[in-house]
Amino acid sequence: MGIIENMRLDGKKGFVTGAARGIGKCTATAFAQAGADVAIVDVDFAQAQKTAGEIAALTGRKVIAIKTDCTSKEEVEAMVDQVSAELGGLDFCHNNAGICINAPAEEMTYEQWSRVIDVNLNGIFLTDIAAGKYMLAHGGGSIINTASMSAHIVNVPQPQCAYNASKAAVIQLTRSLAIEWAKRGVRVNSISPGYIGTELTLNAPSLVPLIDRWNEMAPLGRMGRPEELEGICVYLAGDTSTFTTGADFVIDGAFTCF
């Protein structure tokens, strides 16, 4: 089979968390366009249903919506069971759900810190383990985690120590699971996006004043587009990347190069 055929995901089944909008919506769309059946997993069920309908109409693939709080072990495990039952298996997943709270470290409450760590790190762990257990028992699969360029640098001017720490931990978790499962057929990789112009980012009142500063600092002079993450995720989900595990792919327009 040639490289183009290997980039296809025909017959594969997967889910994307935080997929109702933004990066997750884009990668879920790309997976479906490549031939996969996909579950749109999000706490916002109404938006997840809307997104699932849009992707199904666009691609003709089976696309379902599942409401899941990724910080709940029970809900995550039930979600994986539902995905495998309704789609007929689980070959890949993109664990993308995450939040950011910008607050100076000395003013951040422990509740704020814990919330970021719970969603960004514990949520990734729970989805990795639930999906990984299924894949280990069914011949393998590919897990993609969303980390961030914030795992590699300290972003300025916004104060976000909890976010930076959580994303750095995601990369180390990714590497650790990749080593543990390397000989058992389950690959685990992460992507580290730079500033991406999602609908939320471009319209959040706390972030809009920072966009000009980010663009001035960026070597390409702009933010990335969610669609510019699709290719790497389709590659990691498919059979072209069978020798790729434990890797972190920084997609930041060279922002972390200086």
DSSP 120: I
By the 8 A CB rule, do 168 and 226 touch?
A: no
Peptide bond into 209 cis (omega under 30): no
Q: Are 179 and 246 in contact (CB under 8 A)?
A: yes
Name the amino acid, one letter, at 34. A
Torsion (CA) 120, 125, 130, 131 in degrees, nearest 10: 80
Q: Is 167 a catalytic residue?
A: yes
Q: Which of 142, 148, 192, 241 is labelled catalytic? A: 148
Q: Which of 12, 134, 150, 163 is catalytic?
A: 163
CB 28 within 8 A of CB 55: yes
Catalytic one among 25, 167, 192, 241? 167
Q: Inter-axis angle of helices 123-137 and 73-87, to 10 degrees?
A: 40
Q: What are phi and psi of 52, to 5 degrees?
A: -60, -40
Question: Cβ–Cβ contacts within 10 Å for residue 139, how many?
Answer: 11
In sequence order, which residues have a C-beta less than 8 Å from that of residue 217 and are 6 or more positions away?
255
Q: Is 148 a catalytic residue?
A: yes
Backbone angles phi, psi at 35, to 5 degrees: 110, 0
Annotation marks residue 183 as catalytic: no
Q: Which positions are annotated as active-site residues?
A: 148, 163, 167
